[in-house]
Amino acid sequence: MLIECDRCEMRDIACPDCVVTALLGPPGRPAEIGEEERRALRVLADARLVPPLRLQRPVARAS
């Protein structure tokens, strides 16, 4: 999974409460997280040890 904060629908809304910000610092460059890492982050977030991933990709809208 490539995380591009510039394309996240939650940018500037939920950045302070996003695991990407917690682990990598403020948005600025893409981060790549594999499925294994996503599962590990989900376990940590479910245990409330880190914030959850807040990434929301834009949905293509029909014209």
Contact 52, 24 (CB under 8 A): no
Q: Name the DSSP class of 60.
A: P
pTM of the model: 0.50
Tens digits of pLDDT across the chain (63 residues): 677 788 888 888 888 888 878 777 776 666 677 888 889 889 988 999 888 877 767 677 776
How far apart CA 55 and CA 3 sit, in angstroms, is 7
How far apart CA 8 and CA 47 sit, in angstroms, is 24
